[in-house]
Each structure stands twice: as structure tokens, then as C-alpha cells.
């Protein structure tokens, strides 16, 4: 059966079409710059129409009826969604509710979902949430030590993101290590433009570095990661900054870009560092130092780990950095392996969609 995966973001829609149970990729593509002035694609509706045209022309699919299921990436599932869900009116309402927690992402995800429900003959369409994998983290791991009423009133807590990627990497690691996931302790580091680390015990997320939003945790391309909030108030007072301005600085102007002043892209920052740029070197050093801090903490949480797994643009393409961390891990934790595993979030979404399809079929 064919499963289409749609990742509908604010200004782009990525898609991959898979054939199951082989898990083979049939087609993939991306529509970019949606809604930008010079773009001919003005909105998500036109974006999905363009994808449908591409699929029908490029792949061997003759009719949309040949697509049995559609899997959709949804960024925020709040506390409601601990698993992938078959989409119906109630689920759509609940995803809308979660938009309060992810105002930039969930509405774009929903725009894709709503139009796909109209455009594809199949009503087997599944929402897969970035946050769901981390819903196994226990209360002491997700409640922030601030007045509890804010959790009660606004659901302010750690949620964690990149869940599908961490789950995918954990499953791949189990195959590589030739052990069942239920017997493994793993640390997974997804290092792309956004970076997050997760401690996984017996296949379940027990701690993760991103928080209420993706801003918490590791240093990233343009995000700061962990910072003393009081330092932020101090800057806001001194520079008379509004909340939105500071939000933009922390999300878009910090991390590699902010420290180095060179770029958000590690390739450019590393090159500048090699050419003697002191701040570029400092940015790389801070990044590595914080990676080590989280690896150390998670090794302790887990009571040792079978493997530390790296993925994402940085994790997959930076053998020198991974090698240096590997040699340090080896010195202290000789039994812990270090693995580089390419991630495929779309394949994970397709696998989860297929699993739900089989489960519901059996139930009928």
C-alpha cells in the first residue's frame, strides 16, 4: 500500500511517498516559499495541489485512489496526544486547541490537514505529533520549579520536540546493536538547525532537552538554549526591548549566529574558526561544552547507556566533532558505543501511520 507523508510548515510543504510494507521511497519533494511575494504558490491549498500534480506526473501512481493513507506531521499535541491519531473532527478541534502552545506551527499543520482531507479520496489520515514521544517523561522531569498555578492555568511545562526523530533513531540503534529496544538505554542527539537530546530507557523517553518551546536545552543555529532568565530581563530593561523583540533575539539571532557573528550554519562557523576567527571558535566550543553537559546528565539519569547516537545535519556530517566526543565518552564509559544514524522523520511518520492502519484493520 502507498502512504503519503505531508510535513506542512509555515512557508514550505515537504512530502514523501512510501510503499509499505517494504518501506521503499516512491517519490519525494518540497514546495518552498509559500506566500512570499514573488512565489507563484500563494497558500497551502495551492501548495498541496502542486504536490498532487507532481505525484501524478512523476511517480507511477495513476490515481489518488492508489494512496491508501496520509500521515501528517503535527508539531504540538499538548498533553492530549500521547500516540498518533486517526484524524476526525474531534481530533482537528483538539489540534486547534494546541495551537495556543505552538501558534506558528500548528495552524500551518492544520492548513495542510484540512485541504488533504478534501483532496484525497482516503479518509485514513493520521496525525503524528512531535511532542507525543516525550509524553512518557515523568512529572519531576516536566514540571518547571515555578508557581504550580501556571501549569494548572496555562499548561506551562516541558513538552519536548523532535520526538519522531528520537524514536526513529532509537529503533535504528536497536537494529544496529542487535538488541531489542526494551533492553536498551540510549541517548539520542538530534543536531540540525534545531538541536535536542533525549534519554531513552527501554524505548521510552525519560528526559529531553527542549522544553515548553524548542528554545530550551542545547545551543542551536540561531536559538540560545539554556540561559539564566534574569540575564534576559536585564537586557530587556537596558535596551528597552518589548517581549516580541527579545523573543526574536533568542530564537533567531542567538546560538551559532549570535556568538560567532558569522553564520547560523556550522559549516561557515567551523571554516571561520579554522581561519582564526576567535568568536567562531568560541561558538563551536560552547556548543560542544553544552553537548557534553547533557550527555553527562543523561548518562547519570539512565545509569549508563548502551549508546550515544548522533543524527541531523551536524550529527551526521561532523565526524571530527563526534570523534572527539566519542574518545571522551570511551575514556570514562568504556562500554558505551557512539553511533551516527541518519534520521528520517517522514519514514517514521509513515511507519506509525502503517502501524495504526494495521491495528484498526485488525480491530474491525
Nearer to ligand ADP, 125 or 208 (CB): 208
Question: Of the listed pieces 106-114, 137-145, 198-206, 308-316, which binds ligand ADP according to CB under 6 A?
Answer: 308-316
Residue 178 is classified by DSSP as T
Residue 130 among the catalytic residues: yes
Does 348 engage in binding with ligand ADP (CB under 6 A)?
Answer: no
According to CB under 6 A, which one of 58, 100, 253, 267 is a site residue for ligand ADP?
A: 267
Torsion of CA 309, 314, 318, 319, to 10 degrees: 10
Residue among 78, 112, 225, 312 that touches ligand ADP (CB under 6 A): 312
Residue 202 DSSP symbol:
T
Stretch touching ligand ADP by CB under 6 A, among 93-101, 186-194, 198-206, 234-242:
186-194
Single out the residue of 232, 247, 265, 296 in contact with ligand ADP (rule: CB under 6 A).
265
Q: What is the DSSP string of 34-97?
A: TT-TT-S--SHHHHHHHHHHHHHHHSS--SGGGEEEEEEEES--TTT-SS-EE--HHHHHHHHH
Q: Is 193 in the site for ligand ADP (CB under 6 A)?
A: yes
Length of the chain: 364
Q: Which residues is 147 bridged to in the sheet?
A: none
Span interacting with ligand ADP, options 40-48, 106-114, 188-196, 278-286, rule CB under 6 A: 188-196
> How are beta strands 195-201 and 337-340 bridged, if at all?
unpaired
- Coil, helix or strand for 201? strand
CA distance 218 to 100: 24
Helix (H) or strand (E) holding 276: none
| Of 46 and 268, CB closest to ligand ADP | 268
- The separation between CA 227 and the C-alpha centre of its own chain, rounded to angstroms, equals 21
Complex with ligand ADP: residue 112 or 192, whichever CB lies closer: 192
Part in contact with ligand ADP (CB under 6 A); list of ranges 126-134, 171-179, 187-195, 327-335: 187-195
SS3 (DSSP) at 229: helix
SS3 187: strand
Q: Which of 266, 299, 302, 308 binds ligand ADP (CB under 6 A)?
A: 266
225 binds ligand ADP (CB under 6 A): no
Q: Is 160 in the site for ligand ADP (CB under 6 A)?
A: no
CB closer to ligand ADP out of 66 and 265 = 265
Please enumerate in sequence order all residues whose Cβ is within 8 A of that of 35, keeping only pairs 6 or more positions apart, or say none: 11, 41, 42, 43
Q: Is 58 in the site for ligand ADP (CB under 6 A)?
A: no
Give SS3 for 198: strand
Catalytic residue selected from 27, 49, 130, 344: 130
Contact stretch for ligand ADP (CB under 6 A) within 226-234, 246-254, 313-321, 324-332:
313-321
- Report in angstroms how near the CB of residue 214 gets to ligand ADP at its nearest: 10
Residue placing its CB nearer to ligand ADP in the complex, 111 or 269: 269
Give per-residue burial for 196-209: e unless 16+ CB within 10 Å, then b: bbbbbbebbbbbbb
- Residue from 112, 160, 192, 258 in contact with ligand ADP (CB under 6 A): 192
> Site for ligand ADP (CB under 6 A): how many residues?
12
Binding residues for ligand ADP (CB under 6 A): 192-194, 221, 265-267, 312-314, 317-318
Amino acid at each position: 500500500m502507498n502512504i503519503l507523508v505531508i510535513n506542512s510548515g509555515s512557508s514550505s510543504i515537504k512530502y514523501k511517498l512510501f510503499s509499505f510494507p517494504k518501506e521503499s521511497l516512491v517519490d519525494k519533494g518540497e514546495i518552498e516559499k509559500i506566500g512570499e511575494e514573488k512565489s507563484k504558490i500563494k497558500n497551502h491549498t495551492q501548495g498541496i495541489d502542486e504536490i498532487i500534480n507532481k505525484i501524478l506526473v512523476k511517480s507511477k501512481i495513476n490515481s489518488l485512489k492508489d494512496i491508501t493513507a496520509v500521515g501528517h506531521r503535527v508539531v504540538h499535541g499538548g498533553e492530549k496526544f500521547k500516540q498518533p491519531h486517526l484524524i476526525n473532527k474531534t481530533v482537528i478541534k483538539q489540534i486547534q486547541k494546541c495551537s495556543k502552545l505552538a501558534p506558528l506551527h500548528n495552524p500551518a499543520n492544520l492548513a495542510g490537514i484540512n485541504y488533504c482531507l478534501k483532496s484525497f479520496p482516503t479518509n485514513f489520515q493520521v496525525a503524528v505529533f512531535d511532542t507525543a514521544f516525550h509524553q512518557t517523561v515523568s512529572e519531576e522531569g516536566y514540571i518547571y520549579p515555578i508557581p504550580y498555578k501556571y501549569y494548572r492555568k496555562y499548561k506551562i511545562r516541558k513538552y519536548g520536540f523532535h520526538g519522531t526523530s528520537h524514536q526513529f533513531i532509537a529503533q535504528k540503534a536497536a537494529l544496529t546493536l542487535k538488541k531489542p529496544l526494551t533492553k536498551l538505554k540510549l541517548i539520542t542527539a538530534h543536531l540540525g538547525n534545531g538541536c535536542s537530546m533525549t534519554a531513552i530507557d527501554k524505548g521510552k523517553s525519560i528526559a529531553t532537552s527542549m522544553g515548553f518551546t524548542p528554545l530550551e536545552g542545547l545551543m542551536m543555529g540561531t536559538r540560545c538554549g539554556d540561559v539564566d532568565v534574569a540575564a534576559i530581563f536585564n537586557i530587556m530593561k537596558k535596551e528597552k526591548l518589548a517581549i516580541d523583540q527579545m523573543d526574536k533575539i533568542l530564537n533567531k539571532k542567538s546560538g551559532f549566529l549570535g556568538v560567532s557573528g558569522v553564520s547560523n550554519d556550522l559549516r561557515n562557523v567551523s571554516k571561520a574558526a579554522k581561519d582564526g576567527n576567535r568568536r567562531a571558535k568560541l561558538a563551536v566550543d560552547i556548543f560542544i561544552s553544552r553537548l557534553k553537559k547533557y550527555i553527562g546528565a543523561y548518562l547519570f539519569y539512565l545509569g549508563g547507556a548502551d549508546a550515544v547516537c548522533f543524527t541531523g545535519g551536524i550529527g551526521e556530517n561532523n565526524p571530527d566533532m563526534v570523534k572527539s566526543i566519542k574518545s571522551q565518552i570511551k575514556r570514562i564509559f568504556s562500554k558505551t558505543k557512539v553511533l551516527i544514524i541518519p534520521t528520517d522523520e517522514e519514514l517514521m511518520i509513515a511507519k506509525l501511520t502503517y502501524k495504526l492502519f494495521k491495528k484498526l484493520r485488525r480491530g474491525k
